[in-house]
Structure 1
């Protein structure tokens, strides 16, 4: 497979519908950029899809070290994230903002042709990557699973026929240390191998401060580590077997581990609910976005293993067979201090709140034996655990000639995810009845197992109607079967389940069981028909391409993307009982897309301009909000109108310029507010304007070359939640990055100095409106402040 090639004098960046690329100093035309956006190798300018592609060298030049870094230079792509435990991509305003571990996103992510269904597996180290392709708009025909908004495809480097290797090391502020090593080459006449390892360690940028409790005393617990650090190791291995002249097999085994990473912290601000809507607004906004208080240290642990076997066989000169088999296994644990401060509730305050069956006080010290009298008690400690396994299998036939190219295949997916979600502290305190001796609960726990089995059949063809016109038609039929076994309850410190509540009879706090069969853990439980979900639907596209001349392409596409239903994952059984279990399930969503695009190569290949205009008719969009502290997902119709452009110029030897832009206008119908009102809102992470670009100059210097580069990303104001609460509005911001790189004459080594977020811009990437709490607040997460460092690389 050919890839994007870079000349040492140019590292080119294409911001939107094209890819970054380069021009040798002696060339007057752009080199071809090859992608596999339609699962066959094509020149990017010949593909009637809105695509951004980054090669491995280009990502290195831009300083991308994490899988989410591509967001900064991909127009219409936004990020919503409070921790690596769950990553939400937003493409053209389409996303899935709930934090349930069993949910799938409408922006599908693929790694080496294999779908990654868990949003907890999307944030990780980026290394030894051949390229990344971002496809905008529904891609349901060829890629299928949940590619409603589009997809992101990470493609690892393949073993090489000649021995090669590299080592690199990085040091930076916040005690950053990063080391990477790669070796690749032949193991025998018919076997090639490749091994890459990367280790990253860094202190957190969110600083913990010891603070006073409600009594005016300093917190008594030990120091808490600064949050949002890194401690990760990743391994990529590949074996390529050239079995015959017509048959190749490549085996990839990827492993990663995040070990006790300081995480799970927020910048907390005081808030209040609007009396009419119940939506939050700031009362006293925290003016220190990189400091936090907490009485519980957050942590993140994850271990991920993925194995992919890809077999390719040429049946004859015009027909090829491909099989892609993937197995993925992930164990993940996460904990946070949700209320974002030292609780300020000394233990002594609660000494007489609870009595036993004989009317005698039950002291808090007996409830929390590790807490001394007068100690600060936690209010809202939130944790999740996930055990996740996935198996996928795709069989595909493809072929073609000068007039017709076609593909057809079968796809199977099996997902099994076991999850738990817990709340500890004062938020989980209820008094139990006689069944537990009037003991208070210490924890609210929800556990659920979601099993998904899906199969689909698909096909697509491109037919050359005339020399200038090509027709594309595609269709996929999908059958899904999902089951959910859900159990939510309050438990005492001894693990006893509260079956009744005597002090607050208005609110039932008995356990909630929700499954397709009767669950004996809940008295009087009945089977829930919605806990088993069967779904079938079609996705497809019809497109007409018009090749005006060798340098111009226009296209018109009508597409349908689909995403199946699922269940929300609340933590509190009393909140579930208030809303009713019928609210747990949400239906499938459907997106109809209408897009017109054009791609132009100008000035004898020294410039490219690409543009697209689209309209989305979104049926039953799965909108996330908090209602009575339940993670509520409702189905609401929505619309998006948008336009995108990209301009790339290489006017003089050694100079590269790029500019990309996105324009979005969105509306969502009938979002429910905490007070029961229904309002029309805008989609989250859908700024009206966003721009990104790059300027780079490279010149001869000391028998090698020196390059200077600055890139930027700008977003206008946007909403961070679909409820559009006043505290959700994020102001416009601009982020600049700078890089200076010296490369030796034979390119065997290079040294780079870099600064990210040059202007130390403060902007949020997450907000959660908790203004309905007894002590109202909002949780914010800010993107990383200014970071800088040095990277040295040696190739051999």
Structure 2
């Protein structure tokens, strides 16, 4: 079955079942033992989600930050790398196609049927780089019905959004659907940063010549522009606006102490990406065949600053090819999937990072220049199944073997004072041979990874509407190469093993749903990216395997629908995430702001122009993982007032609470987000024929400043923070036909 065409279950009364396809079969979420959160089209519209960051407001313990690249963390597990070939520990898929570059995530959030967020390692059906989880975006597929919609949304910060879709039955066997999305918004920061400018379009065709064969074709294109993301001073200085100008004088005074370059006032994003894919489904009698070939291309450039002591300028060209083939057989007694996956990607990138002096490193304002080709090739085979031993007891099992190569070839890099490299242009000349000529130091390297990942579990029906389950899952994120000098610029895979037990229940004649789950995650070979010396003794964004962590907790998910017009939702999650070991090095001999005990001198490196520089170790064992609040709560109430005319008024109120959490991996005491609560509300009028809806909305009503992460200014007690949106409000009009 083509994604986006899943039928909705029709219970006799009460809560409507949510249908998912996360396990490559159609099932109710109440019959699935996956740790799964589902966000439907209505929730996306209510929350005003136009970028991945918006999912942070809807899924507990999902943290999404942005600085040119989306950085996704799930229960404290993610990726903090800031370069063009970073790998997210949360795999991102759109209509069954893996999207490797996080710079391409934002163009997917329109004309969406639902989003499935799988929590925990997915080592079988998704495998590669899904050590923390998976986000599946399922867009609306074509149907044999003439229909469509057009919506306009306006708000403060000169926000406007135009979105629409048209579904057309072309012949009795062929249907098409076209959708578009236009978003414009001024920046939340006073100098125009943190803005949004996006143009997206998507075409889907579905040919069904018989009940046994279907062929779907899809093409999408997105362009994002504007100034892009930047940061603000964290903590906010007394009397200052949290959304202050990133390039203004107030930010500048905190940068001067480290000789940092000023945040550019002329930052920009210029990103175009295109994707084409197909999905063939054929019933072969003995099994159902699915074939999904896809190709993606990206041309990306940006110039911005996180408002710390770094300015980034980069341009990437990315070419991605993938193919997945599956055979599935589903009966009343068993479900089985066999498949293979091929992935190839090549990234070409030039970049320059200007940074201020770092204590113990080179003096003066310095720059890191890189130019590289980064290829990746992965092959995998997998098998997954569920077998009914009795009419109430089922067992689950799955296994996947992955073989992968990642590398950096033809790459050069240098770190030096700008004045000492007169042959390098003062501003980056991207993809210019003359630019590469001035660089020094080879970084050629290739790593090979292979891994066996798996899952196993049991499901038991306690009653017709109650199911208990227990699972063990193992996933991994592959190793790779960072853009420092070879040898020694590679790192190993990281692995996560998850132990989960839970129960899903429906009570009170299908009016009350209560799902409970507990989990324990064993996290090994933690990949950590930070500025440090490479083997030449020069500064680079270094990635190392620095330790291990354990993460445990539980959640309660409640839906109560006492009557058709009222729906109450409540979710609470407890999380305890601590490092069992975490040791890293720095050239800073002492730093009273650091919480991690010092190990003293653990080595030295010859830095150009300075000679031997001591390296000091720090041990963060026992420290909390960043972006992992101990408590998160979310609740909501929806009420429908039906008028005598048949029209309806709908009120939606929701609130989110988070306890405090660390913002950075280097364990500096002040880099902590304090507890916060967010409140959102909207009122919708729906016409009697349900064709017209008018909505007034407000988000972050109390104008609470919340930060996704922060990057410290040298050794000062201030940082550049990635801040979430302030209070926003507006209205929308939608016409459906």
Return the TM-score normalized by structure 2: 0.85
Distance 1:735 1:776 in 2: 27
Separation in structure 2 between the aligned mates of residue 203 and residue 406 of structure 1, nearest angstrom = 50
- Given the alignment, which residue of 553, 578, 599 partners 1:642? 553
Residue 41 of structure 1 corresponds to: 26
Counterparts of 1:441 and 1:426 in 2: how far apart (Å)?
Answer: 5
Quote the offset at 1:720 in angstroms: 1.1
1:553 to 467, 481, 487: 467
1:286 to partner: Cα distance? 8.0
Return the offset for 1:196.
0.6
Question: 1:559 Cα shift?
Answer: 1.2
Q: Which residue of 2 aligns with 1:176?
A: 159
Paired residues of 1:684 and 1:720 also in contact (CA < 8 A): yes
Separation of aligned partners in 1, 2:104 and 2:443:
33
In structure 1, what is the Cα distance between the partners aligned to 2:669 and 2:420?
42
Counterpart in the other structure of 1:600:
505
* 1:233 has 2:233 as partner: no
1:541 is aligned to 2:455: yes
* 1:100–1:423 distance in 2 versus 1, CA, 3 Å: closer
Measured against aligned partners, the alpha-carbon deviations of 1:529-565 in whole angstroms (never above 9, x if no partner) come to xx11111111100101111111111111111111110
The partner residue of 2:730 within 761, 777, 789 is: 789
Q: Structure 1's 296 and 66: CA in aligned 2 closer, same or farther, altered over 3 A? A: closer
> Is the Cα–Cα contact under 8 Å of residues 447 and 490 in structure 2 kept in the other structure?
no
Rounded Cα–Cα distance in structure 2 between residues aligned with 1:688 and 1:313: 47
Provide the C-alpha distance between the structure 1 equivalents of 2:689 and 2:375, rounded to a whole number of angstroms: 54
C-alpha distance in 1, partners of 2:627/2:367?
A: 33
Distance 1:536 1:427 in 2: 40
Paired with 1:380 and 1:591, the residues of 2 have a C-alpha distance of 32
Change in CA separation of 1:155 and 1:40 when aligned onto 2, cut-off 3 Å: same
Q: Aligned equivalents of 2:381 and 2:108: distance in 1?
A: 33
Question: 1:696 touches 1:709 (CA, 8 Å); kept in 2?
Answer: yes
Q: Deviations over 1:732-775 (max 9, x none)?
A: 11111100000001101110000011111111122012324xx8
Distance 1:650 1:319, change over 3 A: same
Residues 252 and 587 of structure 1: CA distance in aligned 2, closer, same or farther (over 3 Å)? same
1:621 is matched with which residue: 515, 519, 526? 526
- Deviation of residue 287 (structure 1)? 3.5
* 1:745 alignment partner, SS class: coil
When residues 200 and 283 of structure 1 are mapped into structure 2, their CA distance, relative to the original with a 3 A threshold, is closer
Q: Which residue of 2 aligns with 1:309?
A: 278
> Distance between the aligned counterparts of 2:413 and 2:238, measured in 1?
34
How far is the alpha carbon of 1:381 from its aligned partner?
A: 3.4
What SS class does the counterpart of residue 262 from structure 1 fall into?
coil
Residues 365-390 of structure 1, C-alpha deviation per residue, up to 9 Å, x if partnerless? xxxxxxxxxxxxxx853212111111
Structure 1 residue 50: Cα displacement: 1.2
Change (3 A) 1:473 1:286: farther
Seen in structure 2, the aligned counterparts of structure 1 residues 194 and 520 have a Cα distance that, compared at 3 Å, is: closer
Answer yes or no: is 1:126 the counterpart of 2:123. Answer: no
Higher Cα Rg, which structure: 1
**8 Å Cα contact 2:39-2:58 kept in structure 1:** no
* Match 2:720 to one of 756, 763, 779: 779
- Does the CA contact (< 8 Å) of 1:311 and 1:324 recur in 2? yes
Q: CA 1:488–1:705 in structure 2 vs 1: closer, same or farther (change >3 Å)?
A: same
In structure 2, how many angstroms separate the alpha carbons of the residues matched to 1:56 and 1:388? Answer: 30
| Pairwise CA distance, 1:627 | 3.3
Counterparts of 1:400-479 in structure 2, within 5 Å, are 400-424=330-354, 444-479=368-403
Shift in Å, 1:334: 1.3
* 1:731 maps onto 2:686 in alignment: no
SS in structure 1 opposite 2:44?
helix
In the alignment, is residue 80 of structure 1 matched against residue 65 of structure 2?
Answer: yes
Contact 1:606 1:651 in 2 (8 A): yes
Cα distance change, pair 63–744 in 1 and its aligned pair in 2 (3 A)? same
Instruction: Output aligned runs, 1:344-359, within 5 Å.
Output: none
CA deviation after TM superposition for structure 1 residue 467, in Å: 1.5
Contact 1:380–1:427 (CA<8 Å) still a contact in 2?
no
Q: Does 1:633 align with 2:543?
A: yes
Give the deviation of 1:178 after TM superposition.
1.1
In structure 1, the partner of 2:16 is: 31
User: Which of the numbers 578, 587, 597 marks the counterpart of 1:667?
Assistant: 578
3-state DSSP of counterpart to 2:681: strand
SS of alignment partner, residue 60 of structure 1: helix
C-alpha distance 315-701 of structure 1, shift in aligned 2 (>3 A): same
Contact kept, 8 Å, 1:657 with 1:693, in 2: the verdict is yes
- What is the CA-CA distance between 1:673 and the residue it aligns to? 5.2
SS at match of 2:520: strand
Structure scoring higher RCO (CA < 8 A, sep ≥ 6) equals: 1
Summarize the alignment of residues 679-718 of structure 1 with structure 2, pairs less than 5 Å apart.
679-680=620-621, 681-701=623-643, 703=645, 704-718=647-661
* Whole-angstrom CA distance in 1 between matches of 2:63 and 2:678: 14
Q: In 2, Cα distance between the equivalents of 1:791 and 1:115?
A: 32
Aligned-residue RMSD, C-alpha: 2.7
Shift of 1:59: 2.3
CA distance in 1, matches of 2:43, 2:582: 43
Q: Does the CA-based 8 Å contact 2:128-2:478 persist in structure 1?
A: no
What's the secondary structure of 1:71's corresponding residue?
A: helix
Structure 2 stretches lacking a partner, 5+ long: 249-262, 425-435, 534-538, 589-616
User: Please, which of 471, 476, 481 is the counterpart of residue 567 of structure 1?
Assistant: 481
| Residues 40-79 of structure 1 aligned to structure 2 (within 5 Å) | 40-79=25-64
Distance across 2 between alignment mates of 1:67 and 1:718: 20
Q: 1:489 aligns with which of 381, 402, 414?
A: 414
Q: In structure 2, the residue corresponding to 1:450 is in which secondary structure?
A: strand
SS at the partner of 2:103? Answer: helix
Shift of 1:416: 0.6
Measured after TM superposition, the shift of residue 583 of structure 1 is: 5.2
Q: Is the 8 A contact 1:682 1:722 kept in 2?
A: no
User: Do the aligned partners of 1:258 and 1:301 also contact (CA within 8 Å) in 2?
Assistant: yes
The equivalent residue for 1:300 is 269
Q: Tell me the TM-score normalised to structure 1 length.
A: 0.79
Contact residue 712 and residue 735 of structure 1 kept, 8 A: yes
Deviation for aligned residue 1:522: 7.5
C-alpha deviation, 1:266, in angstroms: 2.1
Once the two structures are superposed, what CA deviation does each residue of 1:183-207 show, in whole Å capped at 9, x if it has no partner? 1111122211010111111111100
**Contact 1:238–1:252 at 8 Å: present in 2 too?**
yes
1:251–1:308 Cα contact (<8 Å) kept: yes
Offset, 1:285:
6.9
5+ long unaligned stretches in structure 1 = 7-20, 209-225, 270-281, 341-378, 433-439, 499-518, 571-575
Q: Give the CA deviation at 1:304.
A: 1.0
Cα distance in structure 1, aligned partners of 2:556 and 2:520 = 15
Please state if 1:591 is matched with 2:496: yes
Q: Is structure 2 residue 700 aligned with structure 1 residue 762?
A: no
